[in-house]
Amino acid sequence: MTKMDLMLVRMIKNSKSQFLAVLIIIITGICVYTSMSMASANLSDTLDTYYEENRFPHLFVQVLGVPVQVAERLERVEGVGKVTGSLVMDVPVLTEDTEKRKTLRLITIKGDEQELSRSTLLSGRALSDNRKEIWLINQYAKANGIKAGDEIRVQISGADYTMEVAGIVANPEYIYLLESSQSIMPDDEGFGIGYLKEPLGRLIVDEGQNYNYIRIEYEPGAKEEALIEAVEAQLKPYGIISSVKREDQLSNAMIQEELLNLRRLSDSLPLLFLFVAGFILMMILSRMVKKDRLKIGILKAIGYDNQQILLHYVKYAVMAGLAGGLLGSTLGMALAGAMTKLYLEFFNLPLLTVNFDITYIFKAMFLAALFCLISGVVGARGVLKIAPSESMREEPPKKGKRILLERVHFLWKRFSFSRKLVMKNVFRNKKRTAFVISGVALTYGMILFTVTMPSVVDQMMNLHFTEFQKMDYNIGFYKPVDERAVRDLYHIIPIDHAEGKIEYPFELSRGHREVTVNILGLKKDTQFYSFKDTSNRMISMPERGILLSENLAKTLKAEKGDLIRIRSLLTEKEDVEIPVAGVVKQSLGMNLKSMRAQLSGLEASYAMAKETVSKNKILYEQGVLSRQEYDRAVTAERELAAQISSPAIFY
Amino acid sequence: MEILRVENLCKSYQMGEVEVKALTDASFSVEKGEFVVVLGPSGSGKSTLLNIIGGMDSPTSGKVFFKDEEITGFDDKKLTEYRRKRVGFVFQYYNVMANLTAEENVELAMEIVENPLPIDEVIEAVGLSSRRDHFPSQLSGGEQQRVSIARAIAKNPELLLCDEPTGALDYNTGISIMALLSKLNREMGKTLIVITHNSDIALMADRVIRMRSGQIIENTVNENPINAEEIKW
């Protein structure tokens, strides 16, 4: 070891606490980086394996009803490898608790090995062909304390069915168990998936020899867009409700979003720590160089050159980086396994692929060393300026001059001597003052943001439910129902006012811009919905034409008076061109985690939408969503967000 | 044989709006193996002169030749090399590295040259054999100055520049340090330039250069230099 290095080691030893403080920050940052990156990689690997083993499809098509033969014929489309059709229907679960609405989505399966979206049986047994039994998704079973062998009662088309829970399963389509894109958070207790054999499904669901849900697996090298076009062309006569690519499939999109967030967090959070550590190191070295002015002069007098001396100080920083990188990544690797398990548990993934990728240690050490090297060079660059002869003399005092405040005589003369000194320090060290002020401002900003955010959300909620959407309940129907159903509601439950609406997906286009959105058809005299234009003026539903939300108008680059081409995805009706009657302010989104495939926010007149879709039918949306439930979901989401963000704020 | 030649050396500093002339038209030469004392009161320009000769500072005008090379024309890299290979410095306040032992301080200088003197010989020469593993905080002022001298000669330089080497020492220690420097000059043949304000030390020198207000006022050869032990101040 050279004597310069020996000096360095002893210097570190003599200022242990200082070095340790920097080391802890680096270790924390690198630990977060390694553990999160590895957890993210493991989670991604596990997900890929799970998808592969359970044959997670590439395309999901929801149709009104397509004959089995037509569905099977889809396998002849170029690029299609395998097709699996199912009957899907959401049914209410009958329980003692009448307060809590519970819905079970029944999905028929064939039960063969070749089937797409195969479930993994976690407990229980295989489904038999001739008994009324179902497999229940793990999340719902767990939340409701249901085990294999228990019974579950559901209501299908008005009739009660009691079915035995043959097994508890996990399924790649419902890793993230959301009822629909409108759901804010998974409600494991209120919504579940039940798998039943196809013959039983056909027996209890009156759908004839049809499927209403098709899953498609591509052959390797398939051209997706052409394939989708061909599939949609074949299914169009049977009414396509939605055609969703794997990347947009609700559960997959959510989990990919989580993975992306995890990756982003694992990329950004450590940088924050490393920036802080780098900044501290820079300050330490800059002060050290100032303090060691004489020592540096002596070294230069002896014959050491600038590079050798600079390296001596930079080594301090690099050692902190390497030690922090090594310790942090080792700790991170130890935590990665536990973290991966936690994520897998959170996502209900039955598989576990934990790989300890040793390259993360090198990556982490390189990252930390690089940050520290840069900080070291910046912090210690003062070495270069020290002339050996100058260093032997005392450093001359800084040039002093009157500060701005001194010119305000009546104020300045009122200050005590010590206060004058403080003021002079504040004004003369402008960089330091600016840094302290920014630090304090940032801290207060973060605190204020955290404290005020809940009340801002509350205000948005209040505004949304008192001004833009005033209904207490939304009742959705599985199938379109006649308008008389609205009138019938007055006889069934005590209500002040009820009105029907229709909501269906359409493809909107203007020029080369295209977007698929849900269209909301409302009565002209709707009492539940109200709209404000971009100038905050209340506007009523137009006689003809559509109202576009601000975002949608931006996407389509459309303004009031422009024509929008609307194509129905469900029927063979010809495209229609409708003028934009106005652009309205975006009210609170129903889905906080809005997805590309489920952009909502286009309102059309009830009459127009009805005409475009079907005659005298109010289209369905399953389930009932009350304002309170929505409120609860938003609160739960907020609490979760607060839990996730609190460590970051703490740091 | 001439080892150092200073020609019309000038150095001035700008202190605010005032120009301070630290050195004015200084010229002299030093023979190899000579013991030169630069004598003058505080502010006479002797430290400035030493810094320029040692390649630690640059003059405003004038030239300094080490052997046949003009060091005043050197760039930073060459000046560093000059300081490393040709010159050894001894400072008034020792300036040894606090977190290195006596021996390690000497090795610090040895590590950057190709042909250093053997460490044991150097330590022995400065009389620090029994204190070689001690840190500066465990050494007296005189011992620290011995470390500083050892560090300077360990590189085996041709020129030893000493800036008030006894300035921070008591009488007896000062005498012993001067005796050591004189021994190194005589036995090792090192050219020695000592700057001091102590005129008694000049009695030991082969040549005495007197300075006042940045100017050389006298450059004399001492025909009968005395031993350090004979000096009294």
Q: What does the pLDDT look like over A145-158, one tens digit per residue?
A: 999 889 999 888 77
Assembly ipTM: 0.91
Between residues A166 and A361, which one has the greater pLDDT? Answer: A166
Average pLDDT, chain A: 81
- Contact criterion met (CB < 8 Å) for A388 and B56: yes
How many residue pairs bridge chain A and chain B with CB atoms within 8 Å of each other? 69
Tell me if chain A has a CB within 8 Å of the CB of B222: no
Helix (H) or strand (E) holding A39: helix A16-53
Please tell me the predicted confidence (pLDDT) of residue A502: 81
**B5 CA: distance to closest CA in chain A (Å):** 20
Please tell me the predicted confidence (pLDDT) of residue A392: 75
Please tell me the predicted confidence (pLDDT) of residue A352: 65
**DSSP per-residue string spanning A590-617:** S-SS--GGGEEEEEEEHHHHHHHH-SSE
> What confidence category does residue A651 fall into, taking pLDDT thresholds of 50, 70 and 90?
very low
* Structural domain ending residue among the three candidates A252, A285, A313: A252
Helix (H) or strand (E) holding B217: strand B215-221
Structural domain tally of chain A?
Answer: 2
Q: Which residues of B touch A309 (CB under 8 A)?
A: none
Does a structural domain hold residue A235? yes
Does a structural domain hold residue A593? yes
Residue A157: count of CB within 10 angstroms of its CB:
11
> What confidence category does residue A644 fall into, taking pLDDT thresholds of 50, 70 and 90?
very low
Q: Which residues of A touch B91 (CB under 8 A)?
A: 298, 392
CA distance A107 to A214: 11
Question: Cβ contacts of residue A603 below 8 Å, gap of 6+?
Answer: A519, A520, A522, A529, A531, A541, A546, A547, A548, A549, A584
Instruction: Summarize the confidence of residues A141-146 as an average pLDDT.
Output: 91
**Among partner residues B84, B97, B112, which is closest to A7 by beta-carbon distance?**
B97
Please tell me the predicted confidence (pLDDT) of residue A643: 47
Please tell me the predicted confidence (pLDDT) of residue A9: 92
CA distance B97 to A195: 79
Please tell me the predicted confidence (pLDDT) of residue A598: 31
Share of chain A above pLDDT 70, in %: 86
Residue A125 has pLDDT above 70, yes or no: yes
> What confidence category does residue A177 fall into, taking pLDDT thresholds of 50, 70 and 90?
confident
pLDDT, tens digit only, all 233 positions of chain B:
888 999 999 999 877 677 888 899 999 999 999 999 999 998 888 888 999 999 988 899 999 999 989 999 899 899 999 999 999 988 888 888 999 999 999 999 999 988 888 898 888 888 888 899 999 999 988 889 889 888 988 888 889 899 888 887 788 788 888 888 888 888 888 899 999 988 888 888 899 999 998 899 999 998 888 887 787 76
Nearest chain B residue to A7 by CA distance is: B99
Helix (H) or strand (E) holding A453: helix A430-463
Please tell me the predicted confidence (pLDDT) of residue A171: 92
Q: Domain range spanning residue A212?
A: 58-252
Please tell me the predicted confidence (pLDDT) of residue A604: 45
Q: What is the pLDDT of residues A222-233, one digit of tens each?
A: 898 899 989 988
CA distance B163 to B88: 11
Tell me if chain A has a CB within 8 Å of the CB of B51: yes
Helix (H) or strand (E) holding A631: helix A627-650
Q: What is the pLDDT of residues A451-496, one digit of tens each?
A: 888 888 788 777 777 777 788 777 777 667 888 888 888 888 788 8
**3-state SS assignment for residue B222:** coil
Instruction: Summarize the confidence of residues A77-87 as an average pLDDT.
Output: 91
Q: What is the pLDDT of residues A526-575, one digit of tens each?
A: 888 888 888 888 888 887 888 888 888 888 898 888 998 888 766 666 78
Tokens coding A555 = 């996407």
Domain regions of chain B by residue span? 2-230
Long-range Cβ contact pairs of A127-132 (< 8 A, separation 24 or more): A127/A166, A127/A167, A127/A195, A127/A196, A127/A197, A128/A166, A128/A197, A129/A197, A129/A199, A131/A164, A131/A166, A132/A161, A132/A162, A132/A163, A132/A164, A132/A200
Please tell me the predicted confidence (pLDDT) of residue A633: 55
Q: How many angstroms from the chain centroid is the CA of residue A12?
A: 44
- Contact criterion met (CB < 8 Å) for A303 and B77: no
CA distance B101 to B93: 17
Residue A302 has pLDDT above 50, yes or no: yes
**Among partner residues A294, A304, A389, which is closest to B57 by beta-carbon distance?**
A389
Bridge partners of B216? Answer: B211
Bridge partners of B61? Answer: B10
Residue A107 has pLDDT above 70, yes or no: yes
**Among partner residues B77, B81, B100, which is closest to A3 by beta-carbon distance?**
B100
Please tell me the predicted confidence (pLDDT) of residue A545: 83
- Contact criterion met (CB < 8 Å) for B104 and A305: no
- Contact criterion met (CB < 8 Å) for A305 and B99: no
- Contact criterion met (CB < 8 Å) for B91 and A298: yes
Which of A68-72, A248-252, A522-526, A616-620 shows the lowest mean pLDDT across its residues? A616-620
Please tell me the predicted confidence (pLDDT) of residue B107: 93
Between residues A632 and A536, which one has the greater pLDDT? Answer: A536
> What confidence category does residue A85 fall into, taking pLDDT thresholds of 50, 70 and 90?
very high
**DSSP per-residue string spanning A275-342:** HHHHHHHHHHHHHHHHHTHHHHHHHHHHT--HHHHHHHHHHHHHHHHHHHHHHHHHHHHHHHHHHHHH
Please tell me the predicted confidence (pLDDT) of residue A55: 92
Please tell me the predicted confidence (pLDDT) of residue A473: 77
Does a structural domain hold residue A442? no
> What confidence category does residue A334 fall into, taking pLDDT thresholds of 50, 70 and 90?
confident
CATH superfamily name and code, B2-230: P-loop containing nucleotide triphosphate hydrolases (3.40.50.300)
Q: Using CB atoms and an 8 Å cut-off, which of residues 81-110 of chain B contact chain A?
A: 81, 83-85, 89, 91, 95, 97, 99-100, 104-105, 107-109
> What confidence category does residue A425 fall into, taking pLDDT thresholds of 50, 70 and 90?
confident
Q: What is the pLDDT of residues A1-28, one digit of tens each?
A: 888 999 999 988 988 888 898 899 889 8
**3-state SS assignment for residue A372:** helix
Strands B61-66, A88-92: pairing kind: unpaired
Between residues A603 and A315, which one has the greater pLDDT? Answer: A315
- Contact criterion met (CB < 8 Å) for A7 and B80: no
In sign, the C-alpha dihedral spanning A484, A486, A487, A492 is positive
> What confidence category does residue A626 fall into, taking pLDDT thresholds of 50, 70 and 90?
low
CA distance A137 to B65: 92
Identify the CA nearest to A516 among candidates A232, A216, A227: A232
Taken as a whole, chain A contains a residue count of: 651
Q: Which residues of B touch A8 (CB under 8 A)?
A: none
CB B189 within 8 A of CB B3: no
- Spatial strand order in the sheet of B159-163: B87-90, B159-163, B191-196, B35-39, B207-212, B215-221
CA distance A504 to A509: 16
Share of chain A above pLDDT 90, in %: 17
Please tell me the predicted confidence (pLDDT) of residue A460: 78
Which of A128-132, A257-261, B15-19 shows the lowest mean pLDDT across its residues? B15-19
CB A543 within 8 A of CB A605: yes
**B220 CA: distance to closest CA in chain A (Å):** 28
Instruction: Summarize the confidence of residues A421-425 as an average pLDDT.
Output: 88
In sign, the C-alpha dihedral spanning B94, B97, B101, B104 is negative
Does a structural domain hold residue A116? yes
**Among partner residues A10, A301, A392, which is closest to B99 by beta-carbon distance?**
A10
